[in-house]
Chain A
């Protein structure tokens, strides 16, 4: 800041003098060339890396553009037309996008998951705005979730009932991820606090829970929930498969989020605890008003990291027979008439995953900036 002001003052002084013309820095130090020289070719090894990468990009990009755009089949066509073309077969996506997005949900009823997803995403967008962070937002969420659930399951208001075995695609992925994180997060906070508790039983239970769940892969948790758990139930009693998988994801997310939050808790200086104590606040008051707000703010980057990871990990539910976005994309590939277009199928869902994950990442950066406004140096 100060440098620039000084620079401008000097410049202005030079102009006012009239006799000394303003000399621009040499072309090799400014503009595009200057930037290139400063960033890409500043040392001999950076120059080599730049050239190698440039060569690789030149090798990849033209072919990729050709495959993605130029030689691709864009208009609706048969699989034979697609196989004859050298580019991507977007006709496959045109044919299958509803199966990929909604799985085996009844075709004529697919306006229901569409509406549910739209409502849901609208609600998430609205929740991103900090002005709406009021108690009534929780009520709004409850109402929207009730509407979404009614739309998906039906059975009332003249909507035909759709069993959860027919749910699939994007609504399923969003549902598993959102509930997994929304329920897992508070559970994780409790575990994190429990692990730092002075009460030995609470601490031991929290440590045992976190370490056991973190010690096994998500696939194992899902398998336990889906295959082992029903064997413990009495004959004839069954808990919905989707509910079991959802519970598994919640338990898993909670353990990971607990450790993230604990990292935040450890970063709070001891003085903050002592200040809270000296104000006469109880443990819960201190935690709620002083410790957690700071700890969670510090934890935003790793929290979002875990959120994004969990969002993508929901794709593992395919192993317990749930057709989430990845599962339905794979199922779309099994149509005998349309086999072999897996590049297009995976590209399509990759774009969807990217949009969601990138939005999460961008929003967290924004949030971090806003919440850290007071401490920025």
Chain B
């Protein structure tokens, strides 16, 4: 009897602490009902998702979450950021703890097919590179035979590193360290000869952690393609479409010169049919996504176009000081190409 009541109490506790969304309900309906987007981010990565001094999440990935919230709910701040480590990120998406994973995740075939998720368009094109102290006199990654390499575990980085050395018939000794600051410390204290991670991370580390940034060079070889993309759960095409077209809308807005400052003016006065369609002044594009017609207007007005997001978080005015490079618009030689919003 006593055991029974104990078990019952336990069950009540578990159910009280759990969310029971109706299984048939789509992600969009859940978000609208909840009034906010649950968005998975890192536990802290400069420029992509990190809390500022007041505990607000900032960064390029965080702003993608905000743009999606603005498009769906009309409020860029209606985001519940859920920090997730590299190892648990796919699980939090699968189990429904987050609607959207915007967490520097590389789009690969295995992840796309075997983890029960779908990727939205790439929001940052990165590639894995090597940084070494200049006084080692190495100028190419092909000269790294026998090197000690600092690397973070549990990501594609470790795998790429092993592949690269095997493909070129070279030996290396990995120094595997989980935390970013500790990897940095290990490299700058000379515990390893080489530090490998995505080139954006190398540039950021060199700019802000190195005592003298000129003492370190990033080797020209990029050994991998790292298209960092938001991901959603597989099986909800409508929500995938929404995230996909929000990203395209941000890129399209930059291409057509629409930004957070001139968006009101263009909504009233623009005669360009592309801009009018994008901002919802003509056509009913929002309806196709299940959203209001101001979906793109809200995202651009409250968060900015892709160029603004890039410059604000990782661009040349920030400590990370990254070039647009691959992340420039296709019209300027980059890879950012939005499918036509029409």
Contacts and interface: CB of A to CB of B under 8 A. Distances in A.
Interface stretch (A98-106, A129-137, A199-207, A359-367): A98-106
B51 A107 contact: no
Contacts of A105: 55
Contacts of A104: 51, 55-57, 81, 83
Interface in B28-61: 43-47, 50-57
Given A333-B181, A334-B44, A340-B208, A321 B23 contact: no
B54 A163 contact: no
Interface in B48-107: 50-57, 80-85, 87-88, 91-92, 94-97
Given A104-B57, A165-B83, A330 B44 contact: yes
A319 interface: yes
11 contacts: A102-B55, A104-B56, A104-B81, A107-B54, A227-B88, A227-B91, A230-B95, A239-B18, A319-B88, A331-B83, A339-B319
Nearest to A104: B55
Nearest to A235: B23
B96 A238 contact: yes
- Residue among A227, A233, A321 with max Cβ neighbours from chain B (10 Å): A321
A95 B209 CA distance: 19
B54 A99 contact: yes
A336 B22 CA distance: 41
> In the complex, which range does the number of interface residues on chain A fall in?
35 or more
A241 B17 CA distance: 9
B319 A165 contact: no
B46 A334 contact: yes
Tell me the dominant secondary structure on chain A's binding face: helix
> In the complex, which range does the number of interface residues on chain B fall in?
35 or more
Given A165-B81, A319-B85, A334-B45, A238 B51 contact: no
Interface string A322-337: 1100011011111111
A191 to B, nearest CB: 16
Contacts of A96: 53
B115 interface: no
B51 A99 contact: yes
B194 to A, nearest CB: 20
A99 B21 contact: no
Given A165-B81, A236-B21, A321-B84, A335 B52 contact: yes
Interface of B: 14, 17-23, 43-47, 50-57, 80-85, 87-88, 91-92, 94-97, 179-181, 184-185, 204, 208-209, 318-320
Nearest to A106: B55
A11 B14 CA distance: 75
B17 A336 contact: no
B96 A236 contact: yes
Given A240-B18, A321-B88, 10 more contacts: A95-B53, A103-B51, A166-B55, A226-B88, A230-B95, A230-B97, A236-B23, A323-B43, A331-B51, A334-B45
A72 interface: no
Contacts of B185: 342
B177 to A, nearest CB: 13
A237 interface: yes
A99 B53 CA distance: 6
Interface of A: 95-96, 98-99, 102-107, 163, 165-166, 168, 223, 226-227, 230-231, 233, 235-241, 243, 318-323, 327-328, 330-337, 339-340, 342
Contacts, number: 134
A237 B45 contact: no
A232 to B, nearest CB: 10
Contacts of A95: 53
A241 B97 contact: yes
Nearest to A241: B97
Contacts of A238: 18-19, 95-97
- Residue among B55, B92, B208, B319 with max Cβ neighbours from chain A (10 Å): B55
A98 B53 contact: yes
B43 A165 contact: no
Contact of A336 (B88, B96, B180, B208): B208
A219 to B, nearest CB: 10
Given A236-B21, A335-B46, A336-B208, A330 B179 contact: yes
A231 B23 contact: no
A318 B22 CA distance: 31
Contacts of B82: 165, 241, 321
Nearest to A345: B181
Contacts of B83: 104, 165, 321-323, 327, 331
Given A327-B43, A331-B44, A231 B84 contact: no
**Cβ-closest 9 pairs across A and B:** A334-B44, A331-B44, A334-B50, A230-B95, A107-B54, A104-B55, A339-B208, A336-B46, A336-B319
B227 to A, nearest CB: 22
Given A106-B55, A236-B20, A333 B44 contact: yes
Nearest to A339: B208
Contact of B91 (A163, A230, A328): A230
Contacts of B14: 239
Contacts of B51: 99, 103-104, 328, 331-332, 334-335
A233 B96 CA distance: 11
A337 B95 contact: no
B69 to A, nearest CB: 15
A179 to B, nearest CB: 12
